[in-house]
Each structure stands twice: as structure tokens, then as C-alpha cells.
Structure 1
Amino acid sequence: MKLKSKLTILALLICISLQAQIPFVKERNHINLTDWIFTKGVHYNAQKETYNTSNWEKIKVPHTYSMDAIDGSGYYRGEAWYRTHVSVPKSMEGERIFIRFEAVGHQVQVYLNNQLLGNHLGGYSGFCFEITDLIKPNSENTLALKTSNGFNFKIIPVTDNLFNIYGGIYRPVQIFSTPKTAISPTYYASSGVFVELKELKNNTADLEIRTHLSSSNFSKKNIIGVQNI
């Protein structure tokens, strides 16, 4: 194999390795949110803590509400709600706190303690929100998701002619913490580190490494970053 090919593959593997550190959450102080309650249909204000959920179904994430597609008789396309309660461990006190969804099908609104964190369109990509100022320490917090796999021509795929469009929290959900200054976890819910091969020349390869930083500490200070390859 020629040197150029070897360097190209090496750069590609480095890029894949850094981007695949979505298990980067596992290296941080984190909790997995697996126990939820769930219901199909349109429910107004179901994000409120006082909303009656006594008849909701207990489920484990990952979960989808489109399993009726398997029998080939059509499947549910519409809204569904998920809720769970979250308590932050003491080990996260004094740090910044985030919630990350690896994917939710197919559109979602996320609420924490009746406050809208944000929206996400598309069922195949992760998204992340900072919840430091909204989550209540030493008490239960209500997390609610309004999801839908209904028809929406703003989201690819626009039809289910080729394959079914499943709804639900079908990939893991984590809450994790970082120091005041950290590599940003909210930049497209990525690891925050990107590698680009700029040039291959003779026996050398020039790589550009971009790291997205985020800080809640607004005092002036120098930040030194070290990247090992």
C-alpha cells in the first residue's frame, strides 16, 4: 500500500475516532435515563408537573410506538408524550449540567419543569441542551417530551414509501456534567472536536484540529488546549 493511501486512511480513522466519541458522555459524570412513562395521542399541557399521568404506560428507553408496523396493516402516525423524573446527584453540584438525546423520532419538543428547552426536527441525529439554570438540585425534576412521527414535509424523508417512519425515544438519553469551561457538548451534539486533512505531501500529512470550547466563567483567563494524536 502506498504511503499516501496509508496517511489518508490514518486521517480518516482519526476523524472517525474523534467523532465516534459520542461515548464521550461515558467519560463524564453522567446518569442514563431509561425509565419513562408514555402515552399516545394529543394531550394539551402534558408537560405540566400537575398533569394526570395515572393511566400512562411504563416503558424503558430505547422505545418506539410504531411497532404495529410489523404486522403490515399500517401503523400509528401522530403525537405521543414521554415523561420521567430526574434527580441530580451531589457529584454534579457546582458544575454545568446538560441533557443529550442520541435521537428521537421524528420531531420533538423538550420541557424541563414546564419550561421549553427547545425543539428538534429529524429522527436520525443527536441534540443536546444545557439545563444548568433550570434543573433544581436536591429535588425531583419533571422532564417531558412531546414527540411526533406525523407527516411533515420539512423533514426528510417526507414519505414512508421506502421505509417506515418510526416515532419515539429510540436511542439513549443521558444527563451529564462538565466543568465551567469545557469542550462544547451542544455543538450539534458532537464531541466538539473535528479533524480535517488539509494536505498530503511526500512523507507528511497536515491536519487541522478544531475544538469548540464553551465557558460559563466570564472572567478573563487564558485557556491552554492540548491535543494528543
Structure 2
Amino acid sequence: MTATTPPMSVSDALHTRHSVRAFLPTPVPRDTIEAILADAAQAPSGTNIQPWRVRVLTGAALKRVVDMALAIHNDPAQAAALEAEYSYYPLEWTSPFVDRRRKVGWDMYGLLGIGKGDKERMHAQHGRNYCFFDAPVGLIFTIDRVLTQGAWVDYGMFMQSLMLAAKARGLDTCPQAAWIHYHRQLAEMLDFAPNEMLVCGMALGHADPEAVVNRLRTERAPVAEFTTFLEA
């Protein structure tokens, strides 16, 4: 966004934001990142506890984390030993959730020309998570272990605010649950305090407009499908 570009409405930011899985190497200035985080920090939280803590990875620090994660991802023995600290997805999938999950997966693989059963290319695509999809900025989010479910709801509002603030500045993001399997490694590399728990990661940068994978758009259920109006 330039000085002559009209500001983006919240509605436009909501409708144009999507998870980007290929970024340009274009750097994001630190003051821009700080401004995005300052905007995100306006998110509400119960009794104003502000449960978020963020580590911003760029340059050599980003490369060290990427190299660590890819080395493990590409080593079957090490990858098999990974264990997430919490379950992001349900232990038992039911409809319509499993149907939506499958659709977005096959839509993405279809764009990339990855056929069913092509485990090698699926593995490589999943590994793209661990280089933050080549974004110049990786964000790692943590929370204090003393906090409970309400604070995680607050955290979601913070992350959504961050993604919208980035979009308003012409930047894109991809929130990444894939990082939760690397909580031990990240805790050691990034000096987590004993009470810190990994929430997830996020890629931040300029979307690559030529990348086929960035054509992916996920569907949303109509309002009538998830809403009940009670008027009497």
C-alpha cells in the first residue's frame, strides 16, 4: 500500500486474505512487522490478559530453524519420533469436517499435479511448511501454560487481527499448525521459558503471484448453514 492507495476495508481484507503457500524473497522491513504486531495487539482478550507472545524469525535465525526442521522432516527415524504437545485436529473425524478437509487437500494437490498415492511429492509439499513456504519472515507463537481455553480463544483473535493487518499493508500470511510437532526443538533453539507452550507458526511476506499453489481458494459455507436467528 502506498501513500496514494486508498485504505483497504475490513471486509475487503477478510475476503481477500487466504493462506499463501509460496512467497517471494522480498524482505519485510522491521518497522512494518512492528506496526502489524501493534495493530494485532488491539485484539480483545478476557480481562485484558493479552496471552500472546511472538518470536519473529528473519535472516540467519530463520535459516537455522528451517534447516533444523527440514533435516528432521526428511529423516524418517527422526520424523517418526516427533510428537505434538496438543491435538490441533480431532482424534475422530466426522462429516462435514472431514469432507472439507479432504476437499482442500485434493484441490491443492490437483493444482500442483500431485496424484493420489504420490507419497514422495506429498512429503515434499508438506515439507514446504518447514521453510515457511520461502517467506522472509517466520512467526512463532507461544502461550503461558497456566492459561486455559479462554486464552486460546483470545489468541485466535490476535492471530486473525495480525493476518488482516498484514493484508491491509499488501502482505500475505499462512498460519501453520504443522510446527506444533517441533515444540521441543523450537523451545531449545528459541529459549522458551519453562512455562511457555508452542501455539503454532505463521509465514509472512509477499505472495508469489506466479505460483500455481496460490490459486487455491477454499470455499465457505453460506450464513444460513451455520446460523440460527431467534426472534421470538
Shorter-chain TM range is under 0.3
* Higher relative contact order structure (alpha carbons within 8 Å, sequence separation ≥ 6): 2
Q: Which is strand-richer, 1 or 2? A: 1
Structure with larger Rg: 1
Q: TM-score, normalised by structure 2?
A: 0.22
